[in-house]
Amino acid sequence: MRFVDTNVFLRFLLNDDPEKADACEMIFQRAVNGEESLFTTEMVIAEIVWVLESYYEQSKGDVREKLEKILNTQNLDCPNREIIINALAAYEEKNIDYVDAYNASVLKIKGINEVYSYDRHYDRIKWLKRFDPGE
C-alpha cells in the first residue's frame, strides 16, 4: 500500500501539467485494475478542497464532483469516507465551508446536536443548534 499526497490528486484532476497528469492517471489505473493499493487521509481531502476552491476558484459543485470521483476510486482507502461524502453534500447544498460541513457530519454521527461557535454557517444545518459563546 502506498500513500497518495494532495499534489498527485491535483495534477490528475487539473491536468495542468499533462506529463504529470498522465503519470498520476497511471497510478490510479493500476489501483482500479487491482494492481496497487492506495491510501490517503482526510487532511489530504481537506487540502484538495481548499486548493480547488481558493486557488483555482472552482465552484463547490465542481469540487464535490472531483472529490467524489477520488473517493470512489477502487483500491483507494481513505478513513471516514462516508463522513467526507456527507460533508461534501452539506458543503455544496448548504453553501458552507468544507471544514464546518465535516465537523457537522462528525457531530451527527456522535449524536451531538449543539455547538458553540461564532460561525453562522452552522445555522444552515437544520438539525444543529448553534450557541454564540457570548450569549
Q: Tens digits of per-residue pLDDT, 14-69?
A: 999 999 999 999 999 999 999 999 999 999 999 999 999 999 999 999 999 999 99
Quote the mean pLDDT of the chain.
96
> Could you state, in order of their start, the residue ranges of all structural domains in the chain?
2-79
What stretch of H or E contains 90? Answer: helix 81-93
Tell me how far apart the alpha carbons of residues 106 and 101 are, in angstroms, rounded to a whole number: 9
- Which residue, among 76, 3, 67, 66, has the nearest Cα to 33 in the 3D structure? 76
pLDDT value at 93 more than 90? yes
How distant, in Å, are the alpha carbons of 85, 93, 97 from that of 130? 23, 19, 15
Report percent pLDDT > 90 for the chain.
Answer: 98
Query: Does residue 106 have a pLDDT over 90?
Result: yes
Q: What is the mean pLDDT of residues 7-11?
A: 97
If you compute the radius of gyration of the chain from its CA atoms, what whole number of angstroms results?
17
Average pLDDT, integer, range 107-119: 96
Angle between helices 6-14 and 42-50 (to 10 degrees): 40
pTM of full prediction above 0.85? yes
